[in-house]
Each structure stands twice: as C-alpha cells, then as structure tokens.
Amino acid sequence: MPSASPAPTPGYALVTGASSGIGERIAREYARRGVPLVLTARRAHRLHALAEELRAQVAVEVVAADLADPAAPAGLVEELDRRGVRIRILVNNAGYGMPGRYRSSDWADHAAFMQVMTTAVCELTWRLLPAIRADGRGRILNVASFAALMPAADGQTLYAPAKSFLLKFSEALALENADRGVHVTALCPGFTYSEFHDITGTRGRMRVSPGMWLQAEDVARAGIDGNERGQVLVVPGWRYRVLHAIVKLLPHRVAMGMMARNSRRVRPV
C-alpha cells in the first residue's frame, strides 16, 4: 500500500513590528485563531519572549530585522526560504513617528523613516506576493492610520503622507489580486493605546478626549476580521467612522482649517 504523502506546510502569517503595540496584538490574535506565525522586529529579546508564550498555541518563527536597513527585506525573505517557511498572510505593521516640523530632523532620519514606512512595505510585498497569490487564500493587511483619511497635520510631516500611500497601495493591490482570492486591507486606526507616543515622547502632551482612544487588541481584531471579509478599508471605532463620514462631506478648505486649529492642541510642535 503506497505511503500517504506528507501534509503540506500550513501558510504562516508574517507580522512586522511584532514586538509591541498593534503588531503584537495582531500576532496574538492570529495565534488565538490557530495561524502559525513569523515575528519580526528590531528587538529580538521581545520577539523571543512573545514567541515562547505563543508557541503554546501555534508554531512560531522569529527573524529579527531592522527594516530601516535597505538590505533587510531581501534578507528576511531569504531566511524564510532557507527555513522552508511559506507565507500566506503578510501584515505590514512596522512603523513609528517623527515628531516636529520637517526641517527639525536630519535628512538621514527622514530617509530611514520612509524606508521603514513605505519602501520596505513595497519590497516585502513584491517579494512575497507570488506565494500569497499561489495559496488561493492569501491575505495582506497594511496597518495605515486614520491620518491617511484626514488633511495632514502640523508636525510629523511625513507620517500622514506615508500612511496615505499605504491606503492607495492597498486599494491597487486589492484590485490587482482579487482574481486569485487575495484580500488586501488598509487598517486605519485613530489614537491607540500603545508605545507609539511613548517612543516619540509626545504622550505627556497629548490632549485627546478619552473616548477617542482605542485598545490595541480591538484594533487588531477589527483589522483581521475586516481583512477576512474582504474589506479594503477598515476604520476601527464608531466615533472614527462618524468623523470620517463628516470630513468627506466638508470642503477641503474647511477641513484644512479644522486641522490647523487642532494640530497644536492634539500634537504640539
């Protein structure tokens, strides 16, 4: 009697920026759903601690990488190929903020920021897209921001443009890959409890209504659920969905004026 062929290796979810915040919560949510994981970020010790915890639920691979290094995306994919890990789900979550006006930071810092926020996202997606398309149930979840849906603020000059790029990138990918069953989603959360504002040193200056803050685990769940439903845009939190609807109805001049009045109140520069 011929021996049964081995079962195919299940497709993994690769989560960038998985060491904290929304990325960590996305990893936890996928583990809860039984999806094996590849975790990547700069802080290897945090990744290994999270991996040890999640291995009670699913298989977990750790590949530490700094996506500010232009060689990192290719190196990451090469390492996955070496380990025989097949990616079915790509979560482009890695990112950070640079507070202050445009000329307050060196160009090298801006270049590294754009490498992480846009270029690395594009390259990882390009390199992994053939496997994601071939799976038949491939998924791409790009963690953008509610900032992509609003006029840009005074300060953190490149943040909103980078997140707007992710939104348009997601829309184009969704159209291009729908014929292969690939769902592509831009997740656009508003203010979320995470390390984001601690790292930028702006938490103590934030003056935001408590009702506008989101929990990272709720954002993660909304993003994954929306992606599975085939939503191209996911805006977590009913208050943000209402605000988005209002802003779309406003003349651009009025919306810009509103942002000018609120930029320093929400994010002093």
Active site residues: 159
User: How far is the C-alpha of 51 from the C-alpha of 61, rounded, in Å?
Assistant: 7
Radius of gyration over every alpha carbon of the chain, rounded to an integer in angstroms: 19
Q: Which residues of 219-249 are buried (b: 16+ CB within 10 A; e: fewer)?
A: bbbbbbebbeeebbbbbbbeebeebbeebee
Contact between 180 and 133 under an 8 Å Cβ cutoff? The reply is: yes
Strands 233-234 and 183-187 come out as: parallel
User: How far is the C-alpha of 180 from the C-alpha of 135, rounded, in Å?
Assistant: 8
